[in-house]
Structure 1
Amino acid sequence: MKLLIDFFPIILFFAAFKLYGIYAATGIAIAATIVQIGYLRWRHGRIEPMQWLSLGVIVLFGGATLIAHNDTFIKWKPTVLYWVMGAVLMGGQLLFRKNLLKSVMGAQMQLPEHAWRVANWSWVGFFAVMGALNLWVAYTYDTDTWVNFKLFGGMGLMVVFVIAQALYLSRFMNTDEAKPE
């Protein structure tokens, strides 16, 4: 269910684009993201910072797309999100000497510091590449190809990256359940 809620605006954007075009899809994505945030607030009582960021970026870039009647703005939205997420992870590591990935996921898995550092920098690199790849597709191909890439290519690459990282991190996870000493 959580996965459906997370991808709700993207799926609606894709369907609306195929049926009505980029401007209707953009308006629907803005509305769907607002509904998503409202639902999450009602259901869980709080919204994660990245969800607020996503809402702000879709309203800003989607709004600019609709006002200027120029799809370039909405095409920049994924890149901005990727690069902001990467910059946050990098800034946490470099400026504050804090691995934000470990802060978020440390309760779910125990890893040595080296593995957390590699995972953090891997995500920084992944977000940087995904942002650049999004722009390359947006400026090299037509809007239909970009929308298909945004849904299928972006999600597919994310799944591949997560699997690759899980395989790497599994080398460091302790498979012995808490044994008495």
Structure 2
Amino acid sequence: MKQLIDFIPLILFFVVYKMDPRVVSLGSSEYELGGPFSATLVLMVASIVIYGSLFLKNRHLEKSHVVTLAAVVLFGGMTLAFHDEAFLKWKAPIVNWVFAVAFLGSQFIGEKTLLERMMGHALTLPDDIWLKMNISWVIFFIFLGAANLFVAFTFHDMWVDFKVFGSLILTFLFVIGQFLIISRHIQTEEK
């Protein structure tokens, strides 16, 4: 359930982005709904509400939530302030590359990789497997950031679809690959 909550702002962004632009009256004010700029505002508000609620409930946010929220507010704010969606297109690549740097840096800071810190309570694996899996995530985040950037600036009409569905499918397939590595090692260890 917790991971599904993370997708609510993205789904709302997608729905509003894909809407045909129309003017909506609220009281005496009129707002345009549909397209990249209203979708960006919806993404920002939904992210603040979701992560604000999580913070109020748990009294803390995971580091990944802090990075994501900061990127949404920063790049979303610049998108709206400069009325240029290029800023928003840079958000996903930069967030992915920040995660890549964090995973890579974790190999040199502390005794455990970031992946082992996140999953070590549930799995017992040799250090070399944790290291290989951690490096795999570094490579994946670099690739996903580059793919997002390439699609965003090469295939303008497809970038929102790729951001929502393509990234999700690639991540899902990558996680399946990680589980195959883990299961192979666990089977070897049990024998």
- With normalisation by structure 1, the TM-score equals 0.92
Superposition CA RMSD, Å: 1.7
Aligned AA for 1:109?
Answer: L
Is 1:24 equivalent to 2:32 in the alignment? Answer: no
Alpha carbons 1:109, 1:173 under 8 Å: kept: no
Counterparts of 1:158-173 in structure 2, within 5 Å, are 158-173=171-186
Aligned residues: 176
Query: Over residues 15-70 of structure 1, what are the superposed CA-to-partner deviations in whole Å (9 max), with x where a residue is unaligned?
Result: 01011000000010000110111221233232111101111111000000000000
Is 1:151 equivalent to 2:164 in the alignment? Answer: yes
Higher relative contact order (CA 8 A, sep 6+): 1
Return 5+ residue gaps in structure 2 as ranges: 20-33
Alpha carbons 1:112, 1:172 under 8 Å: kept: no
Aligned AA for 1:125?
Answer: I
Secondary structure of the residue that 2:75 maps to in structure 1?
A: helix
User: Structure 1 runs of 4+ off > 3 angstroms?
Assistant: 94-98, 174-177
**For the residues of structure 2 that align with 1:151 and 1:95, how far apart are their CA atoms?**
33
- With normalisation by structure 2, the TM-score equals 0.87
After TM superposition, the structure 1 stretch with the greater mean CA deviation from structure 2, 34-43 or 61-70, is: 34-43
Is 1:59 equivalent to 2:73 in the alignment? Answer: yes
Structure with greater strand percent: 2
**For the residues of structure 2 that align with 1:97 and 1:89, how far apart are their CA atoms?**
13
Is 1:92 equivalent to 2:106 in the alignment? Answer: yes
Return 5+ residue gaps in structure 1 as ranges: none
Identical pairs, percent = 43
